[in-house]
């Protein structure tokens, strides 16, 4: 029987997305569950298994038609052994061999990777970075994640932990970061940090969406806040651009919703401060795949892992 | 006739080294000339040609025995077209197609690359990084140069300009750098910067060699100066380690002569501030090939370029 389906899973601190993927990475069916409903590790694993089995049953497909299961996960993974080292935002996970557990129960090939890596893979193969060899992908959310495409392939580093753009120090002194470091980019532009700064400027709680709307209407404080954010991110990217001389930097995640004001100012910082050869080369673009990037990346992981 | 020789050239702001390389990258003969003697571009090219022809004549070898000529050059190179974009420290070079000029005159295959890239290639194939897949090489001198080995190969980036570790900004505000950027690592730890700082601390001119000797004798000011240097470099490397998750960082160049005090303190900064998975993986080691790294790298460039 031809293997025409992939099951893709995107686990985040908030949502657990499970999808059935067909030819050309089309999402045929998708379910979004709340991660918090499942409490600790064993319940969450059971929920993943149940969601997969439900899709197989409801869609009346045979296991023989499924190429494999791909999971994007919010933490560092040993992709070779299939071990989750930990999830910074989901308690109870420490060195869990999730690949083995799932393969035993499902009798299907299972592939795991970090969610930011899968976003990068998705943008490189199916999104804004198609055809480019060397690309940095960044997701701006509660955390600042990153994935690197080097010579056309996902680059994972010596222990599969590469790509942590959120943990580039941008100053020698600065706020401590929950990675154990100091003055990391994430400690300046994680979405909670932006909201804190907004509360100081506006003297009230204000959402990122409102901040984006206000900036579009040229509200001074909102413009100031996005300029500061772009300046922190731009300075970190100057270093990455000088070091890696990439073709493009693809930026996604909720904070990227600020749009033109953020992107224009990031480009300005890079043109002014990165080295000329590298600055002229690099394009700064918005991610194309949005919320589905993780599911598409998980499908690509299965496809490239099996073949 | 078997191609048993390579001619290797290492051009720096101070010295022009020309060597005849035999089997197993053995340096059979080497000449060191002063770069400054040759003034501007055309004279320098003539000097290179003359030095090569002298070796061929004096050593009584035939062109048919020479695999090719490899040059390590102190600036950004378009290695595909063989064009020197510029040399920051040698005036008169702008978009010079040196490969074409030399091949026409020499009737030999000619390969060019940036000197820091060739140092990295040499350490990866014949020095401290043999057998490792992902390695950052740094040369600490007047400038701070770098070369990246990714998945076992020299990584040059989209326009052959990758590896510029000296131009990672380590602060958002800080001294301007002659690359056009600001607060670059090189603006803190280039050897002239270290000597300036030493002159302030000791209230006299003092060489790097003396600073190293004094630190070994536990002189407080010298220890302070190397600690500050290691702190700047270590903080820059925290970002590189988090981003690239390398197997090793190989450090060479004159400033690395400070030895244990410098290396111990760099390791400490990385262990304390880089992310745990990456910090545990990376080894910080001293370059093995010393002053000959450039010549060996130039030979490897020919060998790998021809085959």
Tell me the pLDDT tens digit for each residue of B172-223: 999 999 889 999 999 999 999 999 999 999 999 999 999 999 999 999 999 9
State the average pLDDT over residues B263-277.
Answer: 96
Is A227 at the interface with chain B, CB within 8 A?
A: no
CA dist., res. A211 & res. A224, Å (int): 10
Which pTM value belongs to this model? 0.94
Whether B5-118+292-306 and B131-287 share one fold: the answer is yes
The pLDDT-based confidence of B32 (bands split at 50, 70, 90) is very high
Q: B-chain residues within 8 Å CB-CB of A280?
A: 159
Residue matched to tokens 């979004």: A32
* Residues forming beta bridges with residue A137, ordered by sequence position: A147, A250
Is B88 at the interface with chain A, CB within 8 A?
A: no
ipTM: 0.95
The pLDDT-based confidence of B292 (bands split at 50, 70, 90) is very high
Of B134, B161, B247, which is closest to A277 when you measure between CB atoms?
B161
State the average pLDDT over residues B92-111.
Answer: 96
Closest residue on chain B to A146 (Cα): B243
In the predicted structure, residue B72 carries a pLDDT above the cut 80: yes
CA dist., res. B225 & res. B194, Å (int): 8
Put simply, the answer to whether A246 touches B181 (Cβ < 8 Å) is no
Is A305 at the interface with chain B, CB within 8 A?
A: no
Token pair for residue A283?
């394009």
pLDDT, greater one: B306 or B283 = B283
Q: B-chain residues within 8 Å CB-CB of A244?
A: 148, 157, 162
In the predicted structure, residue B66 carries a pLDDT above the cut 90: yes
Predicted confidence at residue B178, as pLDDT, reads 85
Of 3.40.50.1010, 3.60.21.10, 3.30.420.40, 3.40.640.10, the CATH number of B131-287 is: 3.30.420.40
Of A156, A168, A278, which is closest to B243 when you measure between CB atoms?
A168
Predicted confidence at residue A142, as pLDDT, reads 84
Is CATH 3.40.50.1000 the right assignment for the domain spanning A5-118+292-306? Answer: no
Put simply, the answer to whether B243 touches A240 (Cβ < 8 Å) is yes
Predicted confidence at residue A242, as pLDDT, reads 98
Q: Output DSSP code: residue A203.
A: S
State the average pLDDT over residues A82-91.
Answer: 89
Rounded alpha-carbon distances, angstroms, from residue A21 to A25, A107, B128, B305:
6, 18, 46, 43
Domain locations along chain B: 5-118+292-306, 131-287
Token pair for residue B230?
């290691």
CA dist., res. A135 & res. A130, Å (int): 10
State the average pLDDT over residues B141-157.
Answer: 95
Put simply, the answer to whether A157 touches B238 (Cβ < 8 Å) is no
Average pLDDT, chain B: 94
In the predicted structure, residue B142 carries a pLDDT above the cut 90: no
* Nearest CA-CA partner of B51 in B86, B8, B94: B8
Q: B-chain residues within 8 Å CB-CB of A161?
A: 245, 275, 277-278, 281
Predicted confidence at residue B307, as pLDDT, reads 59
Predicted confidence at residue B237, as pLDDT, reads 98
CA dist., res. B76 & res. B161, Å (int): 6
| CA quadruple A90, A96, A102, A103: dihedral, nearest 10 | 150
State the average pLDDT over residues A106-117.
Answer: 96
How long a stretch of residues is chain B? 307
Question: Taking the CB of residue B178, how many other CB atoms lie within 10 A of it?
Answer: 13
Percent of chain B with pLDDT over 90: 87
Closest residue on chain B to A137 (Cα): B243
Tell me which of B114, B154, B242 to substitute to probe the interface with A (most A C-beta atoms closer than 10 Å): B242
In the predicted structure, residue A307 carries a pLDDT above the cut 70: no
Residue B209 contacts residue B222 (beta carbons within 8 Å): no
Is B86 at the interface with chain A, CB within 8 A?
A: no
Token pair for residue A256?
């990227």
DSSP letters for chain B: ----EEEEEEE-SSEEEEEEE-GGG-EEEEEEEEGGGG-SHHHHHHHHHHHHHHHHHHTT--GGGEEEEEEEESS-EETTTTEEEE-TTSTT-EEE-HHHHHHHHH-S-EEEEEHHHHHHHHHHHHSTTTT-SSEEEEEESSSEEEEEEETTEEE--TTS----GGG-B-SSS--B-TTS-BSBTHHHHSHHHHHHHHHHHHSS---HHHHHHHHHTT-HHHHHHHHHHHHHHHHHHHHHHHHH--SEEEEESGGGGGTHHHHHHHHHHHHHHS-HHHHHH-EEEE-SSGGGHHHHHHHHHHHHHH-
Question: Taking the CB of residue A263, how many other CB atoms lie within 10 A of it?
Answer: 16
CA dist., res. A236 & res. A170, Å (int): 6
In the predicted structure, residue B275 carries a pLDDT above the cut 80: yes
Q: A-chain residues within 8 Å CB-CB of B148?
A: 243-244
Is B243 at the interface with chain A, CB within 8 A?
A: yes
- What tens digit of pLDDT does each residue of B5-21 get? 999 999 988 899 999 99
């Amino acid at each position: 029987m031809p293997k025409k389906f992939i099951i893709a899973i995107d686990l985040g601190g908030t949502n657990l997305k499970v999808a059935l993927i067909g030819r050309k990475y089309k999402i045929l069916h998708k379910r979004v569950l709340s991660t918090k409903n499942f409490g600790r590790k064993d319940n969450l694993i059971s929920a993943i298994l149940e969601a997969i089995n439900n899709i197989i049953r409801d869609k009346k497909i045979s296991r023989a038609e499924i190429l494999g299961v791909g999971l994007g996960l919010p933490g560092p993974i040993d992709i070779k052994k299939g071990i989750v080292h930990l999830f910074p935002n989901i308690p109870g996970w420490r060195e869990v061999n999730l690949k083995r557990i799932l393969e035993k129960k499902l009798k299907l090939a299972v592939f795991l990777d970090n969610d930011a890596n899968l976003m990068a893979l998705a943008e490189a193969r199916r999104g804004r970075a198609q055809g480019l060899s060397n690309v940095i992908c960044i997701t701006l959310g509660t955390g600042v994640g990153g994935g690197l495409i080097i010579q056309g392939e996902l680059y994972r580093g010596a222990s599969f932990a590469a790509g942590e753009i959120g943990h580039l120090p941008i100053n020698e002194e600065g706020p401590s970061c929950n990675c154990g470091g100091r003055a990391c980019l994430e400690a300046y532009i994680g979405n909670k940090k932006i909201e804190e700064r907004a509360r100081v400027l506006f003297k009230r709680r204000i959402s990122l969406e409102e901040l984006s709307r206000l900036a579009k209407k040229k509200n001074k404080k909102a413009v100031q806040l996005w300029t500061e954010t772009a300046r922190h991110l731009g300075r970190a990217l100057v270093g990455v651009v000088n070091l890696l001389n990439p073709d493009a930097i693809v930026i996604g995640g909720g904070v990227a919703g600020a749009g033109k004001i953020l992107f224009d100012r990031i480009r300005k910082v890079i043109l002014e401060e990165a080295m000329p050869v590298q600055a002229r080369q690099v394009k700064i673009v918005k991610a194309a795949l949005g919320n589905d990037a993780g599911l598409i990346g998980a499908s690509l992981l299965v496809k490239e892992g099996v073949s």
